[in-house]
Structure 1
Amino acid sequence: MRADEPVALGRTDLRVTRLGLGLASLGGLFAPVSDDDAARTIDRAWHLGVRLFDTAPVYGYGRSERRAGAALGRRPRAEYALCTKVGRLIVPGGGDTQPIWADPPPGVGPRRDYSYAGVMRSVEDSLERLGLDRIDVLHVHDPDEDFPVAVSDAYRALAELRARGAVGAVSIGVNHAPVAARYLREAEAPGPDCVMLAGRYNLLDQSGLDELLPLCAARGVAVMAAGVYQSGLLADPRPGAPHGYATVPAELARRVAGWHDVCRRWDVPPTAAAVRFPFGHPAVASVVVGARTPDEVDGTARMLAHPVPAGFWAAARAAGLLPARVPTPDGA
C-alpha cells in the first residue's frame, strides 16, 4: 500500500490519501521543534504524496496551525485535505493548560468551549492562524469533555458550516470508541461524516470494533485511525523508551512481545504491521501518523509500503494475538 494512494472520504466529496500526517508533534508535543524542521517535515510528506494533514488549535496553542498554514499555503489548495478541530479556544490567560507542550507561546492557553458561539469563533481563529480560506474536515475535539453541549451546540454549528460549504466534512476526534458511537447515535441527522479514532483500533487495542466501526460502516462514516503505534510502544517497548508508559502492564508487555516474535518470524517490522492493520476494516479510509522530522515521515511511508506475507495475519491469529472477529488486510 502506498502513502499517496487516494481514497474517497466516506460519503463526502473529499478525497484523501491513505497516509495522513498528524501535526501535534510539530506543535511541540513533548519536545520543541523549530520552524525550519516543521516546514521540512511537511515538505517531505508532500514530496511523498501525502495529501491529508491534521492539526488542532490546542497543538502548541496555535503553533501547529500556524506552521501548517505556512507550509501548505503555497501549495495548490485543491490538492490536499486539511483537518483541524473545535472545542478549545486559544485565549490570553486560558487556564486549561497541558504540560505536554514544549515551550508554548507565552501568555495564552486553551479554554474549553463547545458552545455554538465558541465553535464559530474557533473556526475564525483557526482560519486566521492557518492563513487559508477554508477547512476541509472539522473535528469536534474530545467531545466527552462536555458531551451534552458538544453533541448539540457544537454539532449544530458544524452542520451549518457544512451546509454552506465552509467545511467539507464534519467529524469528531476521540480517544474512546464508546464516546464516538454515542455521538453518532445522538447527533441530529445526518450526523458526522467521519471519525478520527486515536489508540482504539490497532494491534494492541481493538475496542473500536465492539460498536463503533460496524456503526461507521453501516452509515458510510469514514474512519481515520490514529495512535496505531500505541504511543510508540510497538516500535520500542524497552523500559524508559519514549512510548508514554512509565510502567508497561504485564499483560500488555506480553502481547507486545508476542507481536515482536511473530514479526521476527515473518520478517515484518512491527511498525509495518501496525500501520497496515487498520485497513483490514472497510470503514477505515486513512491512517494518520505524527512525525517531527522528515526521516520519520520517510520511515512511516516505507512501513506502509513494506510487503506483509499472506500468512502473517493468520500466524498472529494462531498465536492468540488477534480474536477471530477482527478483520485483517488480507482477509485471513
Structure 2
Amino acid sequence: MPVPALPRLGLGCAPLGNLYRVISDEEAEAAVAAAFDTGATYFDIAPHYGLGRAEERLGRALAGRDRSSYVLSTKVGRRLRDLAPGEEVDEQGYVDNPRRARVWDFTPDGIRATLEGSLKRLGVDAVDIVYLHDVEDHLDAVRGGGFAALADLRDQGMVKAVGFGMNYSGVLAELVTEFDVDVVLCAGRWTLLERTALDDLLPVCAQRGTRVVAAGVYNSGLLADPRPGTHYNYQSAPPELLRRAQELAAVCGEFGVPLRAAALRFPFGHPSVVAAVVGAAGAAEVRDNAALFGHDIPDAMWHALVARGLLDEDVPLPLAATAGSAAKEE
C-alpha cells in the first residue's frame, strides 16, 4: 500500500496534550481548525502526548470532517492503562494529565491494543501512518517481533504506512536498513543547526526510497528565539550553539527572512524529506507557522550561509527551483 501524499506542513499535536503548560479544549480545537484553514492538514499524534488527552482533543476537533481531507499518524510502543489505587501519574513533561500510565509494550497484542485505543480516542476507523515510538532503548523488542507485528497491520490493510519516530538518526538509519520501512519521523537531527541525519539517515532513505518527515525543526526553541536561556535538545543551549544560532539569524535578517522561516524551509533541501511537522498550542501559532512556511526566501540567502561557514558546502539547499519541482511531485 503506497505512503499517503502528505501536506508539506503538518501539525505536531504534543501541545494538545498540555506539554509543559495547560491549554484549554477551546484552544486545542482552534489550533486544529486553523490547521485546516492554512492547509497544514497532516496531524501527528501519540498516546504518549498527555496520556491520551491529545488524541481525545484531536478526535473531538476532527469530528464531522471528511476523513479524506486530512492525513493522520499516531504511534505505538507505549500502551496506556488506568492507574491503580494510590498510583501517581508520571507526567513526563505533560501537566494536568488523565489518571493513566504508560507501559512499554511491543507484543503483537500490545501493539494492536495500543492502536485500537488510539482509534477510539481519535474517533476514526483508521489512521494513515503508524510509527513505533522512541524505540532506541528497545531494539531487542523491535527485532524480536515489534516491527513484524506493526508490518502485519499494514499487510492486513489496517494502516497504509509504517515506520519509526525518534530523535536518534543513527538508530533510524539502522532500522531503515534492516526493515521494510515506509516513512520515518526524525526529530531535531536535520535542521539549520544539526546535520547529523545527512551523515547517516538521509543517504539510507534515499537509497531505499523511504520518506522522511522532519520534526523538531526549531531544535527545542533555539532556532525560534536564540537568546540566553533558550532550550536546545530540551536543555539550556550551549554557548557555542547559541552564538551560531544568533549568527544564522543575523544573516537571514540581512535578506529580510525570519530565522524561523529559514528553519522551517531548510529540511526540504533533501529530496527524501516530504513534510515537516511543527507543534502549536493555539490558532495564532498555527497561522504564524503557516505564514513563515510560505515566506519568500531568496536563493542568495542560502548561498550566503554557506559562504560564511554557517552551513557546510555539501549540505543540500532548499533552492527555489528545487523546492518548486519537489512540491509538484508530491
State if a TM-score over 0.5 links the two structures. yes
| Correspondence for 1:228 among 182, 199, 217 | 217
Q: Which residue of 2 aligns with 1:206?
A: 195
Cα distance in 1 for residues equivalent to 2:230 and 2:22:
18
Note the C-alpha offset of 1:186. 2.2
Cα distance in 1 for residues equivalent to 2:288 and 2:265:
13
Task: Give 1:261's aligned amino acid.
Answer: A
Note the C-alpha offset of 1:245. 5.7
Q: Which residue of 2 aligns with 1:69?
A: 59
Q: Which residue of 2 aligns with 1:165?
A: 157
For residues 138-189 of structure 1, the C-alpha deviation after alignment (integer angstroms, 9 at most, x for no partner) is 00001112111123422111111111110010010010001101111222xx
CA contact (8 A) 1:96 1:110 kept: no
Residues 1:307 and 2:296 are matched in the alignment = yes
- Specify whether residues 202 and 294 from structure 1 end up closer, same or farther in structure 2 by C-alpha distance, changes over 3 A only: same
Gaps of 5+ in 1: 1-10
Corresponding residue SS for 1:311 = helix
CA contact (8 A) 2:40 2:290 kept: no
Corresponding residue SS for 2:276 = strand
Note the C-alpha offset of 1:71. 1.1
Residues 1:291 and 2:284 are matched in the alignment = no
Note the C-alpha offset of 1:92. 2.0
CA contact (8 A) 1:237 1:243 kept: no
Cα distance in 2 for residues equivalent to 1:324 and 1:164:
45
Cα distance in 2 for residues equivalent to 1:297 and 1:203:
21
- What is the TM-score with the length of structure 2 in the denominator? 0.92
For residues 83-112 of structure 1, the C-alpha deviation after alignment (integer angstroms, 9 at most, x for no partner) is 000000111238893431011112x11111
For residues 191-243 of structure 1, the C-alpha deviation after alignment (integer angstroms, 9 at most, x for no partner) is 11000000000000110001210111111111000000111111112234566
Aligned-residue identity in percent? 43
Q: Which residue of 1 aligns with 2:102?
A: 110
| Correspondence for 1:322 among 311, 316, 320 | 311
Residues 1:271 and 2:260 are matched in the alignment = yes
For residues 28-57 of structure 1, the C-alpha deviation after alignment (integer angstroms, 9 at most, x for no partner) is 000011111101110010111222000000
| Correspondence for 2:173 among 181, 198, 212 | 181
Q: Which residue of 1 aligns with 2:326?
A: none
Cα distance in 2 for residues equivalent to 1:71 and 1:13:
24
Q: Which residue of 2 aligns with 1:151?
A: 143
Cα distance in 1 for residues equivalent to 2:109 and 2:16:
28
- What is the TM-score with the length of structure 1 in the denominator? 0.92
Gaps of 5+ in 2: 324-330
Cα distance in 1 for residues equivalent to 2:317 and 2:18:
34
Q: Which residue of 2 aligns with 1:40?
A: 30
Task: Give 2:178's aligned amino acid.
Answer: E
Cα distance in 2 for residues equivalent to 1:143 and 1:261:
37
Corresponding residue SS for 2:236 = coil
Task: Give 1:115's aligned amino acid.
Answer: T
Cα distance in 2 for residues equivalent to 1:33 and 1:128:
22
CA contact (8 A) 1:96 1:111 kept: no
CA contact (8 A) 1:143 1:151 kept: no
Note the C-alpha offset of 1:120. 1.1
CA contact (8 A) 1:97 1:109 kept: yes
Task: Give 1:237's aligned amino acid.
Answer: P
RMSD (CA atoms): 1.8
